[in-house]
Amino acid sequence: MSGFKKKIFAVFVSGIGSNLQAIIDAVENGIIKGKIGIVVSDKPNCKALECSRLANIKTFAFEPKKFSSRKEYEILIADECEKAGCEFIVLAGYMRLLSPWFVAQYKNRIINIHPSLLPNFPGTHAIQDAIEAGAKMTGCTVHFVDEGIDTGSIIAQREVVISNDDDLDSLTEKIHLAEHELYPKIVNLLCCNKIEKRQLQTLACVRKF
């Protein structure tokens, strides 16, 4: 038996869950040498939760409006992640800002994927914003999460060319394909202890993914 102990992580979702599904597939076929301990969602009826249930992964869903404060539900989330043994958190289309308190609980242990080449086009309409700006190139970015909106240190990026005939749907599809290739690789690097924030400056190789 090998002495390698698989890292357990949480995935947070709000929407369709295509990135979650890519991560589930990568765990199943051994590309990610780690385990999803829990899937957390602020949208109890989202499609992403169906993916996790189908894969028999524990889920925790909550409705923010039923709580009197963000801290109240974030304490519950942190409890659930701890009970599931999660060492880090992967945001995969989780469209809710985490509080400074929560970010501090998982300092340098939360990553996010964003559908642009940050620092260009932060925020919730990144793909549309790139089209409206007439950009010729966009892509996706994996970054650490800090207290800001899409401001944490960048781990890796992948470029996507915007063609003249691209619309929101076609560009979203192209970016999703890039995300599904990039994100599982970076999640695996975290599982294998290959990324630490203080090493980022020297991790130029990571950016090639």
Please tell me whether residue 103 binds ligand GAR under the rule CB under 6 A. Answer: no
CB of 15 to ligand GAR, least distance (A): 4
- Residue 114 bears catalytic tag: yes
Please tell me whether residue 18 binds ligand GAR under the rule CB under 6 A. Answer: yes
Residue with nearest beta carbon to ligand GAR: 93
CB of 190 to ligand GAR, least distance (A): 17
CB of 197 closer than 8 Å to CB of 153: yes
Please tell me whether residue 179 binds ligand GAR under the rule CB under 6 A. Answer: yes
Ordered strands of the 88-91 beta sheet: 59-61, 34-41, 7-13, 88-91, 110-114, 137-144, 154-161
CB of 18 to ligand GAR, least distance (A): 3
Read off φ and ψ for residue 98, nearest 5 degrees.
Answer: -85, 145
Please tell me whether residue 15 binds ligand GAR under the rule CB under 6 A. Answer: yes
CB of 21 to ligand GAR, least distance (A): 8
Q: Which of residues 24-53 bind ligand GAR (CB under 6 A)?
A: 48
| Number of shown-chain residues binding ligand GAR (CB under 6 A) | 15
Site string for ligand GAR, 56-75 (x = CB under 6 A): --------------------
Interface with ligand GAR by CB under 6 A: which range of 72-80, 81-89, 113-121, 129-137?
113-121
Tell me whether residue 7 or residue 114 sits nearer to ligand GAR (CB atom): 114
Site string for ligand GAR, 73-102 (x = CB under 6 A): -------------------xx---------
CA distance 97 to 105: 15
Q: In Å, how far are 34, 121, 163 from 184, measured between CA atoms?
A: 11, 23, 26
Please tell me whether residue 114 binds ligand GAR under the rule CB under 6 A. Answer: yes
Task: Report, as residue numbers or ranges, the catalytic residues.
Answer: 114
Chain residues binding ligand GAR by CB under 6 A are 15-19, 48, 92-93, 113-115, 126, 150, 176, 179
